[in-house]
Amino acid sequence: MRVQLLSLGASLLPLAAAQFTGNGNSTNATSTGPDEDGKYWIYGEGISAAFIPYGASISNLLIKDQYGIERDIVAGFDNASYYAIDRQHPHFGGVPGRYANRIKNSSFEIDGETYHIKPNENPTKDHPDGVDTLHGGPNGWDWRNFTVASRSNNSITFSFVDPDGEQGFPGEVVSYITYTLGNMTWDFKMVAISTTKKTPIMLSSHTYWNLDGFANNDTQSVLNHTFYLPYSGQRVGVDNILIPTGDILANQQGSVNDFWSAPKQIGTDFQKEELKNNCGFNCTGYDTCWLVNRQQDGPYDWRAEDGFVARLQSPWSGIQLDIYSDQEAFQMYSCNGQNGSMALKKTQGLFDNKDFPRTIPKYGCVVLEVEDWIDAINQPEWQRGSKQIYGPGDDPYVLQASYKFSINATKTS
Ligand SMILES: *[C@@H]1O[C@H](CO)[C@@H](O)[C@H](O)[C@H]1NC(C)=O
Ligand SMILES: *[C@@H]1O[C@H](CO)[C@@H](O)[C@H](O)[C@H]1NC(C)=O
Ligand SMILES: *[C@@H]1O[C@H](CO)[C@@H](O)[C@H](O)[C@H]1NC(C)=O
Ligand SMILES: *[C@@H]1O[C@H](CO)[C@@H](O)[C@H](O)[C@H]1NC(C)=O
Ligand SMILES: *[C@@H]1O[C@H](CO)[C@@H](O)[C@H](O)[C@H]1NC(C)=O
Ligand SMILES: *[C@@H]1O[C@H](CO)[C@@H](O)[C@H](O)[C@H]1NC(C)=O
Ligand SMILES: *[C@@H]1O[C@H](CO)[C@@H](O)[C@H](O)[C@H]1NC(C)=O
Ligand SMILES: *[C@@H]1O[C@H](CO)[C@@H](O)[C@H](O)[C@H]1NC(C)=O
Ligand SMILES: *[C@@H]1O[C@H](CO)[C@@H](O)[C@H](O)[C@H]1NC(C)=O
Ligand SMILES: *[C@@H]1O[C@H](CO)[C@@H](O)[C@H](O)[C@H]1NC(C)=O
Ligand SMILES: *[C@@H]1O[C@H](CO)[C@@H](O)[C@H](O)[C@H]1NC(C)=O
Ligand SMILES: *[C@@H]1O[C@H](CO)[C@@H](O)[C@H](O)[C@H]1NC(C)=O
């Protein structure tokens, strides 16, 4: 498998390089190499997007708002080369892997054997590197460069080989990440194959959204974006450093974590006492894994019209994002950790307005992640081993999603 992948990559790479045309103009659909900023552009009807090998990340997504003005609605950096230099590393638009979100105590057990992986979060005096692992470790997938395996006008596929033992994980994993643009749609398919040993795999897309392109002249925050999770009456209970406790909690109607009974603005409950510590110690906001419960209504087609698992909408731009996915959990993070230290891109924000600095403020964005139940490898009673542990000869890990954009200028409360 590895040999095949490498030879495929090697045969395709010179082709991409030979076709390098270096044109950064998003309306120019003829260039096939990266532009002068190191970005690979692809095009759909009413939508275009740029991707970079670093973390197989999306760096730009352009779409017109209700006034016909083009907005860049994802956070990122202007130059692909800066992603590897930036030390804050907010996982901008990348693929967290090989295991997204947190792993309790940086360890897990497979077939009676305990594995210890590299910690990278919540350092203490006794554990200077941290007490848990976030997004695959200090050299997780979104710290590394993928290979451009193939590319067309509307699609790009990245390939990646994660060696046996990397970050302490057992076995080699080979992965393909394909992004495709359609008629106001962004689809992705992530496939990963464990080739040598049983190992945990859980991927996601860690994209930061601001549906106003950070150009809203009333507010820099996303607290007025409306959010809806129609299948998510339950969520994963966590401790004060966001490690799952094993408990599945109810999102009672009207409670701060209720986004299922009706759409609601993200900021609706920010003054409520109940939201304090909702995203960990001393944190007001969301960094929550909701379950997506659909089986009870019978067999379903995740692509079915109106079957979206999440909807995000901004009344200011009128842009609406409906997310369809085959995954059974959904994470939303309300950018509680942003503090104005990340710069906007040249395609974003308001110029000539001192009240709106060209940086991302606290609550200035929202991360939406289709995923499986977080840290299920440490909660055997959830019985999700078949969704999270993969060995040689098993069916591949597959994640699919379709992000559909439309204009919905409805004002909501
Ligand atoms: C697109 O970019 C290529 C390479 O820079 C250039 O030759 C071509 O004229 C451009 N096409 C348009 C329509 O701008
Ligand atoms: C991009 O290309 C289009 C089509 O060739 C052209 O009309 C437009 O002016 C270009 N924009 C920039 C910023 O170069
Ligand atoms: C992007 O970074 C690369 C490498 O540092 C540099 O060669 C290139 O000029 C940069 N592009 C722009 C437009 O600054
Ligand atoms: C690329 O796709 C866009 C959108 O579908 C289309 O307008 C454009 O003509 C295509 N370009 C090429 C070279 O096929
Ligand atoms: C990844 O590629 C970028 C260019 O986009 C380069 O600046 C960086 O050094 C590479 N990083 C690694 C870890 O290879
Ligand atoms: C956490 O991992 C360490 C080794 O890294 C181990 O000694 C300890 O028992 C583990 N703690 C728990 C609660 O599992
Ligand atoms: C794109 O979708 C819109 C609305 O569904 C439709 O009217 C239009 O014909 C579609 N365009 C193409 C090229 O399929
Ligand atoms: C704010 O933006 C909206 C939408 O683009 C525009 O209609 C309005 O004139 C702007 N207001 C100010 C004060 O610039
Ligand atoms: C925007 O959000 C703030 C904070 O939640 C709220 O007070 C305000 O009413 C909202 N504005 C609109 C126009 O919905
Ligand atoms: C908790 O937050 C409050 C208010 O922001 C701050 O004053 C306090 O220092 C924080 N406590 C800790 C332990 O971080
Ligand atoms: C903002 O957050 C970053 C990352 O946590 C930190 O390095 C920086 O010191 C913070 N800046 C301010 C002004 O708090
Ligand atoms: C527009 O958004 C509102 C509020 O989220 C929702 O009730 C309505 O169904 C949406 N309309 C469409 C056409 O999606």
Euclidean distance between CA atoms 227 and 262, whole angstroms: 9
Q: What is the pLDDT of residue 105?
A: 98
Residues, the chain, total? 413
For the CA of 21, the closest atom of ligand 1 is 4
Mean pLDDT of the chain: 92
Using DSSP's 3-state secondary structure scheme, residue 402 falls into: strand
Q: What is the pLDDT of residue 23?
A: 37
Q: What is the pLDDT of residue 182?
A: 98
Digit-coded pLDDT (tens) for 293-302 = 999 989 999 9
Q: What is the pLDDT of residue 352?
A: 87
Q: Are the beta carbons of 194 and 171 closer than 8 angstroms?
A: yes
H or E element in which residue 37 lies: none
Digit-coded pLDDT (tens) for 87-126 = 999 999 999 999 999 999 999 999 999 999 999 999 999 9
Euclidean distance between CA atoms 134 and 116, whole angstroms: 14
Longest dimension (CA), the chain: 61
Lowest mean pLDDT: which of 21-35, 191-205, 308-322, 337-351?
Answer: 21-35
**Site to substitute for ligand 3 among 20, 23, 25, 37, most atoms within 8 A of C-beta:** 37
Q: What is the pLDDT of residue 411?
A: 54
Digit-coded pLDDT (tens) for 231-241 = 999 999 999 99
Q: What is the pLDDT of residue 13?
A: 34
User: Which among 85, 18, 15, 92 has a CA at the least distance from the CA of 51?
Assistant: 92
Euclidean distance between CA atoms 90 and 57, whole angstroms: 12
Q: What is the pLDDT of residue 26?
A: 43
Active site residues: 206, 369
- Tell me, using a 6 A CB cutoff, whether residue 105 lines ligand 6: yes
- Tell me, using a 6 A CB cutoff, whether residue 35 lines ligand 3: no
Lowest mean pLDDT: which of 12-16, 177-181, 201-205?
Answer: 12-16
Q: What is the pLDDT of residue 273?
A: 97
Distance (Å) from CA 30 to ligand 4 centroid: 8
**Site to substitute for ligand 11 among 336, 341, 362, most atoms within 8 A of C-beta:** 341
Q: What is the mean pLDDT of residues 204-220?
A: 97
Q: Is the pLDDT of residue 8 over 60?
A: no
The confidence band for 276, taking pLDDT boundaries of 50, 70 and 90, is: very high
Q: Is the pLDDT of residue 413 over 80?
A: no
pTM beyond cutoff 0.85? yes
Using DSSP's 3-state secondary structure scheme, residue 30 falls into: coil
- Tell me, using a 6 A CB cutoff, whether residue 81 lines ligand 3: yes
- Residue with the bigger pLDDT between 283 and 353: it is 283
Lowest mean pLDDT: which of 43-47, 66-70, 166-170, 297-301?
Answer: 297-301
Q: What is the mean pLDDT of residues 302-315?
A: 96
Q: Is the pLDDT of residue 27 over 80?
A: no
Q: Are the beta carbons of 204 and 181 closer than 8 angstroms?
A: no
* Pocket around ligand 1 at a 6 A CB cut-off: 21, 23, 28, 30-31
Using DSSP's 3-state secondary structure scheme, residue 116 falls into: strand
Domain architecture of the chain: domains with CATH:
2-208 (2.70.98.10), 212-377 (2.70.98.10)
Q: Are the beta carbons of 209 and 405 closer than 8 angstroms?
A: no
Distance (Å) from CA 85 to ligand 5 centroid: 9
User: Which among 332, 399, 347, 362 has a CA at the least distance from the CA of 74?
Assistant: 347
Q: What percent of the chain has pLDDT over 90?
A: 88
Euclidean distance between CA atoms 19 and 34, whole angstroms: 9
